[in-house]
Amino acid sequence: MLSRPRWIFFSRTLRASGLAAILLLLPAALLAETNASNVVCRAGLAVERREELAGKLRKITGWSDLKFDRSGALRLGANPIGGSRRARELLSRVVMGGTAVVLEDASKLADVAFCQVLPGKWKENVPDSRPAFVVRIDFADFENVIGDAPALRAFDAGWGLLHELDHIVNNSLDATCLGEPGECEAHINEMRRECGLPQRAEYFHTYSPLTLDSHFITRLVQLSFEQKEPPSKKKKRYLVVWDANLVGGVIEDKKIAVLR
């Protein structure tokens, strides 16, 4: 028997009502420095984490020279080798578009599971200010994930960021029903396919064991990915697993699929 489905991973918050906006502590001087990029890191996002994220994006896009510069602005690469064309197009639209995106380290925050996007507003009056969003990334959550190697390569901070950017750029929706990936993840799955990686089979995770109200038992969550294997074209399933006690963002009145 299934309870109501629940979303906690790569949460779409662009249309959530009653959501408080984050104040962007981004001075006009920094905007001038990063005028060639609309994606910039907040000061609290450590250099090591920036390089970690850039490394994930380099693998996905095929841009070996993609990086965050000294000011924290995302700089795209040139002459890609392999990688996903769609991922490059999405990043290009964000970096050169009309919306500011600020990246924030949300590691070990209880209200963030993996990644989350929030609408933002400027703390100070900025001339010709543009719409702004904050993408919060919980790097610690990704470090608590185990599973099949192909699925792990398709499920990291780089993919999480792309998911949130797709919400911003394309206003795409997450799934509302069990057994489907949803509009946003369908876009991300196209990128995974271009990278030769398995695709996310469904948006909702499943819980096991059953004693969800216990604080003393491991609450394992699994998420499935699929890939067609040549020459039979049969789908092979891969899993990623994590302990929901260690990953934030679990709110009991939200949606969840429970294995009975």
Whether residue 119 contacts residue 14, with contact meaning beta carbons closer than 8 Å, is answered with: yes
Q: Does residue 11 fall inside a structural domain? A: no
Helices (H) and strands (E) in the chain, counts: 7, 13
How many domains are contained in the chain?
1
86 is in which domain, residue-wise? 22-258
Q: Does residue 68 fall inside a structural domain? A: yes
Q: Does residue 14 fall inside a structural domain? A: no
Q: How would DSSP label each residue in 139-186?
A: HHHHHT-EE-HHHHHTSSHHHHHHHHHHHHHH------STT--HHHHH
Q: Does residue 203 fall inside a structural domain? A: yes
Per-residue pLDDT of the chain (260 residues; tens, 9 = 90+): 333 333 333 444 343 323 345 555 554 444 445 456 899 999 999 999 999 999 999 999 999 999 999 999 999 999 999 999 999 999 999 999 989 999 999 998 888 999 999 998 777 766 667 889 999 999 999 999 999 999 999 999 999 999 999 999 999 988 887 778 889 999 999 999 999 999 999 888 877 654 455 555 677 888 999 998 887 778 999 999 998 888 866 544 333 333 32
Residue 235: DSSP 8-state:
E
Exposed/middle/buried for residue 220 (C-beta within 10 Å: 0-12, 13-18, 19+): middle
Q: Does residue 8 fall inside a structural domain? A: no
Element (H, E) at 110: none
Cα(131)–Cα(113) distance, integer angstroms: 24
Q: What phi, psi does 92 have (nearest 5°)?
A: -65, -40
Report the candidate in 80, 84, 86, 51 with the shortest Cα–Cα distance to residue 64. Answer: 80
Q: Does residue 152 fall inside a structural domain? A: yes
Q: Does residue 55 fall inside a structural domain? A: yes
- Global pTM reads 0.83
Whether residue 197 contacts residue 243, with contact meaning beta carbons closer than 8 Å, is answered with: no
Q: Does residue 178 fall inside a structural domain? A: yes
